[in-house]
A and B are shown apart, each in its own frame.
Chain A
Amino acid sequence: MAIGLMSDSETYEIPTGYLYTRDHEWAQRKDDGNVLIGITDYAAKMLHDIVYVTLPAVGQNLSKQEVLGQVESVKTVSDIYAPVSGTVVKSNDRLTKEPEVVSSSPYKDGWMLELKTKDYDSDAKDLMTPDSYRKYVAELSEKD
């Protein structure tokens, strides 16, 4: 996510069980080995008023850090980057009709894609833990 606006003193939900990118995507490995991805609460709050989500079709192969789609607010378009490589096995169709779910439930109902990964362990090495992401977001907020 490329985000143009800085934060104020809002607080952001950063749950455990997820790994995070500097571009404010998250990845969560499921029990079956597939990986769910989405954008963070911080990203959703920064964008505000999410009105449109563009996601790739099932079957598409994504490389880590490739642009996989866009989140649009009333005024802005932001790219979403793949946190890990993989093949799209499911896409959250609900976001087509109800894009606001990304804001109301960024980590649960607002998930975007389910990926079948090949090399998750290696891809996930440079993702941030909740603690490091919290520090990262705090630093971004201070710059404001």
Chain B
Amino acid sequence: MARKSHLYSFHLEKGKLTEFSGFDMPLWYRGIIEEHHAVRNAAGLFDVSHMGRYSIKGKDAASFLNYILPSDALKVKERRAFYSTLCNENGGIVDDTVTNKIDETDYLMVVNAGNREKDWNWLLAHSERFSVEIRDFSNDIALIAFQGPLAQTLMQKLCDLELSQIKRFGLAYCNVSGIRCLVSRTGYTGEDGFELAVLDTPLDDPTKALKIWNAILDLGKEKGVLPCGLGARDSLRLEAGMCLYGNDLDDTTTPVEADLGFILTKENGDEYIGRKVIWSQLKNGTKRKRIAFSMKSGGIPRHGYEIRLAGSKIGTVTSGSFSPTIKNGIGMAYIPPELSEKGRMVSVQIRASEHPALVVGTPFYDTSKYGYKRVPNSN
């Protein structure tokens, strides 16, 4: 039996269900493409309660995070969220996470559904010498993402806090539909939007989460707001150039190879798990690097397809799909860094034939027309 998220009753009634990371989740409600466009053009509502939510509290919370993450938690201001990766001794990525820093001694880490147990064990195993209390709130907090250019305007009508005060990656406690939430201006779509941790919402009584969920859908009904499933979540994050753990990142991939240099905010010398390999790779380079590519004459790349150059295999596609926004095949792959410059033409082996593809930057879409940068207050 698959596990159920807080909003399962809604998914069962309205969605096309699929099993994802051991959870019964909606793949779509109306269709992946329609939901995808709703998020780019209006807003979409996602249940992400299948993800793990771990509270890390205590006087050593920051130093514990600084030991398990390659990012400097001390450089992050209070009431800010930051993206980072848990790494193993070889620098390989145990999981990618968003950590909400409530204050210096109180953090909420959000992890991938498929890694909940692995991460929980990882956190416990490495916390022994730190004065921290780690608690699993996954079944006591519902998590809803409301994403798209209309997200702020619509959510403002339900919220007792001026939402423009929350800047991108900022967070605040407020009431939404009268219900206490921790709201962050974060997401996994490339659009402006919010993630709402609906507090004190047990899995067996999700009334509060359903109330907010339905209030947002009612409010947005006339504006093109749709509930969105995991299908659109995946196509949106890929267009934005964001990694999916298990596809683009795994225990053997390092943040340097994954081109996540922006999370490596520590000084050389600061100790953390995986530091040796990561610093060596920063200095000496890597054998492979994550790139983004766009198909130039049809064909849809898929996970596992070969990337080829001049008749030889140079890498492998880790994510690939049809892009509803730019209307052609797009993907991510790992190839040798010396071949990874933007503008290079490579080929993707699709069944019997090679199809040309261009190495590009991300997001894939035109950021003057789509994405958070076009929304006032979201930067």
Contact = CB atoms under 8 A, between A and B. Distances in A.
A42 to B, nearest CB: 15
Nearest to A69: B351
A84 interface: no
B302 A74 contact: no
Given A48-B28, A49-B31, A52-B298, A74 B322 contact: yes
B234 A75 contact: yes
A72 B231 contact: no
B28 A51 contact: no
A75 B33 CA distance: 11
Contacts, number: 42
B363 interface: no
The B interface is mostly helix, strand or loop, or mixed, namely mixed
Contacts of B27: 5, 75
Q: How large is the interface on B (under 10, 10 to 19, 20 to 34, 35 or more residues)?
A: 20 to 34
B16 interface: yes
B231 A74 contact: yes
A51 B31 contact: no
A22 to B, nearest CB: 23
B277 interface: no
B298 A51 contact: no
B253 to A, nearest CB: 23
A49 B300 contact: no
A8 interface: yes
Given A51-B322, A52-B322, A75 B300 contact: no
A111 to B, nearest CB: 20
A74 B16 contact: no
Nearest to A4: B18
Contacts of A137: none
A74 B33 contact: yes
A77 interface: yes
A10 to B, nearest CB: 10
Contact of A74 (B18, B324, B351): B324
B235 interface: yes
A96 interface: yes
A48 B32 contact: yes
Contacts of B286: none
B33 A96 contact: no
Given A8-B16, A74-B235, A74-B321, A49 B298 contact: no
B16 A52 contact: no
Contacts of A74: 32-33, 36, 231, 235, 321-322, 324
A87 B298 CA distance: 25
Given A48-B28, A49-B32, A74-B33, A96 B322 contact: no
B273 to A, nearest CB: 34
Contacts of B32: 48-49, 73-75
B20 to A, nearest CB: 11
A142 B231 CA distance: 25
Interface of B: 16, 18, 27-28, 31-33, 36, 231, 234-235, 298-300, 302, 321-322, 324, 329, 351
In the complex, the 7 A-B pairs of residues with the closest C-beta atoms, listed nearest first? A51-B322, A74-B32, A49-B32, A49-B33, A52-B300, A72-B300, A74-B322
Interface of A: 5, 8, 48-49, 51-52, 54, 70, 72-75, 77, 96
11 contacts: A5-B18, A8-B16, A48-B32, A49-B31, A49-B32, A49-B231, A51-B322, A74-B235, A75-B27, A75-B321, A77-B302
